Structure 1
Amino acid sequence: MIDEFTGHIEKTPKIKFRKNGDIKDVLVVALPMLLSMSFDTLMTFVDRLFLSRLGPAEMNASLGAGGMNLVLITFFTGMISYTTAMVAQRFGAGKKQECASVFMQAVYLSLACVPFLYLMIPLGHLIFEQQGLAADQLAYQKLYFNILMIGGIVSLVRNAAPCFFSGIGETKIIMKAAFAGMLVNIVCNYFLIFGVGPCPRLGVAGAAYGTVTGNIVSTVMLFVVYFGKRYHSLYGTRSNLKFNLAQVKELLKRGMPSGVEMFLNMAAFQLMILLFHGLGAEAATAASIMFNWDMVAYVPLMGLEVASTSLVGRYVGAKSAAAASRSTYSGLKVGWGYSLLIAVLLIFLPGVLADVFRPDVTASAEAIAIFESARPMGIFMLRFATLYIFVEVLLVVYCGALRGAGDTVWVMCACAVMNWFNTIALYVAAYIIKVPPHYAWIIVVCVYSTAPVLFYLRWKSGKWRRHVLDKN
């Protein structure tokens, strides 16, 4: 090919991989992503931790509003996140200049989605009003939701920003940007939620502003590095700025199934939270405790999913199906090691985990009474979530691998059926059979645990290999 910077004719370089998908290969990409996702999780966790000091209503409102924000934004973020696979496939094929071009199409598409996101704000309000929430939680929930949605332009671009780096397997910069964003978020939260020095006491609104500010910082860091000298010399990041209709069409074709999948998954998950909240303040608080810690455990696994997508996409681009398979099984081993650590905490320290969300002594007597009543139920649900975490490892690795291979439509359908079946199971158990909330949680986990069999069989069948043959 002709190098546009030197004018010399060069052969397309062959990409050399580390030991073709072994554990070390996976860890190089996955560990920084696990840490970066952990930092993102900590941002949200600190929001809810600080708000829990004000009372259960504030904490529950942040969970409900944050979940609704994710539901309404995940179609766009899910669609755009397929950029990782597209970049990885081109990187594996040695087409470095196209990596930068594909990434810029993702940025343009992110900006184009912003008006549609803003039009969904009234829908969120309507859903909140149908929940039968207490007046104080409803007000907090709308306020938190509005700020996150208005800051949606930042969220969409921030979602696209790491895709280039994860696609080429250089994930350390993503980790550093996420760490910086987390620190900014924590400081802003403390000052804005509680009111320190000249900063006013904003409560729920302060938590939302802190999140948006942290997202801005991490996004700016990624773009500064992307347009820097090193990546411009390797990928032409400042030169590949043109709109490319063919690449946008490819991103829409491959990415829309991922977007629909994530939307349906988050909608089912949010409905599950709403169903628990509809069972009363005690059930809502217990579920909030459990789901907050589940988020801490699960979101880092999304880093492993991104790593699986990146590695499999790269090997698919290099037409190495055997290496793609090895990287998938290596990913499972890494995920199970992580889950063992989480299991120790959930089984042996659930009381300590629950007490993290204990209201401050200055909270109302009613808020403290609700927490004390919900605490035993929350501990029970945390312990049983151990099985839930092990199942999630199987799902994220196989989903990421299948997406990286381009098998996005099947993943979309399978995930949608799985998550909505779980939500229906919760509704039947809690609202029709009327079992106690913690027993309804057992039913949900047991139903959820059957899903990985489908994904394993799909991967084992080798049908995804046809996408290896379809690549240029």
Structure 2
Amino acid sequence: MGTATLERGRPRGGLSPGGRRRRGRLFAHEVRQLLRLAGPIIVGQLGGVAMTTTDTIMVGPLGAASLAAAGLGSGIHFSLLVTMSGMLMGMTPLVSQSFGAGDRAECRRVAVQGIWLAVLVSIPITVASILGRPIALSLGQDPEVAALAGRFMMALAPGVLPLMLFMALRVYLDAMGRTRVAMTMMFVGVAVNVLGNRLLIYGVPGVVRPMGVVGSGLSTSIVRWAVLAVMGVYVARHPELSPFRGVRLRPVPARMRRIAAIGAPIGAQVGAEVGTFSFAAVMMGWLGPVQLAAHQVTINIASVTFMVAVGASAAGGIRVGHHLGAGSRRGVHRAGLATYVVAIGFMSLCALAFLLFPRQLIGLYTSDREIMAYGTALLFTAALFQVFDGAQVTGLSLLRGAADTRVPMWITLIGYWGIGIPVAYVLGFHTGMRHVGIWSGLVLSLAVVAVALLWRVRRVLWSPALAAVVPAPRQQAVEIARAEMTADAGAPVAGD
């Protein structure tokens, strides 16, 4: 986009009946396109949650300590994972805008450098996963839970690299509208995870010794290698999608910095949100293992509904990128409005379900009366933030499609850590609200972030100077490509 000029909107004034009908048809078309993209993303996201849900349900019979350890270990590991992997999301606007402009070669160049970046970011995540036990102890957790969580995270460490490589390929394909690929991979992952959990958590007499919660972590690592292998086979069988075709394979620091410059604030955004919920788990652990187990069950239920909003908003961000690449300002507006309607509408229905059927939902995970009592109260609180959760993730994704990531980063950091965590701590430990107080702080932070991001979306995507918001990715891409060809004209090119 960058140097291209977006089409001007219509002059202010009333529309004729024909114009209103045409606008309605265009909006309905945008919603259909959004749902077509979002459907596979949502299924893929739900596949990831299904694996976590499977882990929670299958670890549950081991007792509150094991369930708490899985929740704590997953929270710490996942916080590191999404914070570092957020840099890979910097590929999304670059690939989607290049795709919208018809430049497939640039899409592939971005993908190759994203893969190199995936290798780099996997290193600190792996090291931190190996150090899970001392991290858990430093957070003031029960020694038994910390020991189990440390062993669980150790088992997750071998799966970090394949997951990062898979995510780079997934972002590349999703940004070009090929969202069904990752969805299919997640079906493979869920099947492998169920089998792996059954074999490794409980063992097979005389064949496989039971490993308890550690077996769940090891199963997750096996799943990550499996989905990467299937993705590799798919790309090999579809050479037109291969990111390695006709591009140079060596690392290009300028291009990697370009991805990281957009992606690092995204990592901070996602890390701020996930870190908030993970630290909420830490605070629940201070209250006791039962409260932490209830938190793990409730957050898992809320994660299922949230993944639908994540998928819809991700599709909206891709549509914004496509419209920007094609130079359509009105298309950007339609994509933004359609995404808010779909995401908030769905989350409102989920809030109603949480209020009407709390015990039935908690009962899907456990029959423990204490966990069910705490979980039911938390689920009522979760119902309050469903709409805000859908609104904030929509705002973030739409702005990512326009490569606007720095201001949203500060909004999330202030909203979650400047407001949410302090309020959660005060309500949880200095009032009688306890576990409900901690979650009430989460509700407030989501509300603040959602409103602030709505303001930012209006300011950016409806700005007359929308073209200037995106820092000339197409122009910079051309300059980087020229520098590449000059620097290593003799370097090997895939497909030569």
- How far apart, in 1, do the equivalents of 2:220 and 2:130 lie? 21
- How far apart, in 2, do the equivalents of 1:76 and 1:204 lie? 25
- 235-244 or 84-93: which moved more? 235-244
Per the alignment, residue 220 of structure 2 pairs with 211
Change over 3 Å in CA distance of 1:459–1:236 after alignment to 2: closer
Q: CA deviation at 1:137?
A: 1.6
Q: Is the 8 A contact 2:122 2:160 kept in 1?
A: yes
Task: Give the TM-score normalised by structure 2.
Answer: 0.84
Alignment gaps of 5+ in structure 2: 1-24, 475-496
Q: How does 1:281-300 map to 2 (within 5 A)?
A: 281-300=289-308
- How far apart, in 1, do the equivalents of 2:193 and 2:40 lie? 20
- How far apart, in 2, do the equivalents of 1:373 and 1:145 lie? 27
Q: Is the 8 A contact 1:225 1:231 kept in 2?
A: no
* 2:240 counterpart of 1:242: no
- 267-276 or 58-67: which moved more? 267-276
Listed one character per residue, the Cα deviations across residues 58-104 of structure 1 (whole Å, up to 9, x for unaligned) are 11111110110122222320001221221101101110111112111
Listed one character per residue, the Cα deviations across residues 11-44 of structure 1 (whole Å, up to 9, x for unaligned) are xxxxxxx958710010111111001000010001
Give the alignment partner of residue 229 of structure 2, picking from 209, 220, 226.
220
Per the alignment, residue 254 of structure 1 pairs with 262
Give the alignment partner of residue 92 of structure 1, picking from 95, 100, 110.
100
Change over 3 Å in CA distance of 1:35–1:229 after alignment to 2: closer
Change over 3 Å in CA distance of 1:111–1:444 after alignment to 2: closer
Change over 3 Å in CA distance of 1:229–1:132 after alignment to 2: closer
Listed one character per residue, the Cα deviations across residues 442-463 of structure 1 (whole Å, up to 9, x for unaligned) are 3431443233111111111235
* 2:469 counterpart of 1:467: yes
Q: Is the 8 A contact 2:99 2:325 kept in 1?
A: yes
- 196-205 or 414-423: which moved more? 196-205
- How far apart, in 1, do the equivalents of 2:438 and 2:260 lie? 38
Per the alignment, residue 363 of structure 1 pairs with none
- How far apart, in 1, do the equivalents of 2:437 and 2:278 lie? 19
- How far apart, in 2, do the equivalents of 1:123 and 1:203 lie? 20
Listed one character per residue, the Cα deviations across residues 210-257 of structure 1 (whole Å, up to 9, x for unaligned) are 11122222222222222334525xx76433242333321211221111
Per the alignment, residue 367 of structure 1 pairs with none
Task: Give the TM-score normalised by structure 1.
Answer: 0.88
Q: How does 1:306-317 map to 2 (within 5 A)?
A: 306-317=314-325
Residue 298 of structure 2 aligns with an amino acid whose one-letter code is M
Give the alignment partner of residue 42 of structure 1, picking from 36, 50, 56.
50
Alignment gaps of 5+ in structure 1: 1-17, 360-370
- 288-297 or 165-174: which moved more? 288-297
Q: CA deviation at 1:123?
A: 5.4
Per the alignment, residue 493 of structure 2 pairs with none
Q: CA deviation at 1:172?
A: 0.8
SS of corresponding position for 2:387: helix
* 2:403 counterpart of 1:402: no
Q: CA deviation at 1:290?
A: 1.4
Q: How does 1:172-183 map to 2 (within 5 A)?
A: 172-183=180-191
Per the alignment, residue 152 of structure 1 pairs with 160
Q: How does 1:386-397 map to 2 (within 5 A)?
A: 386-397=383-394
* 2:431 counterpart of 1:433: yes
* 2:420 counterpart of 1:411: no
Q: Is the 8 A contact 2:130 2:157 kept in 1?
A: no
Per the alignment, residue 490 of structure 2 pairs with none
Per the alignment, residue 168 of structure 1 pairs with 176
SS of corresponding position for 1:207: helix
- How far apart, in 1, do the equivalents of 2:200 and 2:410 lie? 42
Give the alignment partner of residue 447 of structure 2, picking from 425, 443, 449.
449
Q: Between the two proteins, what is the percent identity of the paired residues?
A: 22
* 2:68 counterpart of 1:60: yes
- How far apart, in 2, do the equivalents of 1:470 and 1:321 lie? 16
Residue 458 of structure 2 aligns with an amino acid whose one-letter code is K
SS of corresponding position for 1:162: helix
Per the alignment, residue 456 of structure 2 pairs with 458
- How far apart, in 2, do the equivalents of 1:220 and 1:320 lie? 38
Q: CA deviation at 1:152?
A: 1.3
Q: CA deviation at 1:343?
A: 2.9
* 2:209 counterpart of 1:200: yes
- How far apart, in 2, do the equivalents of 1:417 and 1:92 lie? 34
Change over 3 Å in CA distance of 1:186–1:202 after alignment to 2: same
Q: Is the 8 A contact 2:388 2:450 kept in 1?
A: yes
Q: CA deviation at 1:135?
A: 3.5
Residue 372 of structure 2 aligns with an amino acid whose one-letter code is R
- How far apart, in 2, do the equivalents of 1:30 and 1:385 lie? 24
Q: CA deviation at 1:427?
A: 0.6
* 2:379 counterpart of 1:372: no
Give the alignment partner of residue 141 of structure 1, picking from 149, 173, 176.
149
Q: CA deviation at 1:318?
A: 1.6
Q: Is the 8 A contact 2:362 2:375 kept in 1?
A: yes
- 87-96 or 251-260: which moved more? 251-260
- How far apart, in 2, do the equivalents of 1:122 and 1:224 lie? 30
Q: Is the 8 A contact 2:132 2:149 kept in 1?
A: no
Per the alignment, residue 126 of structure 2 pairs with 118
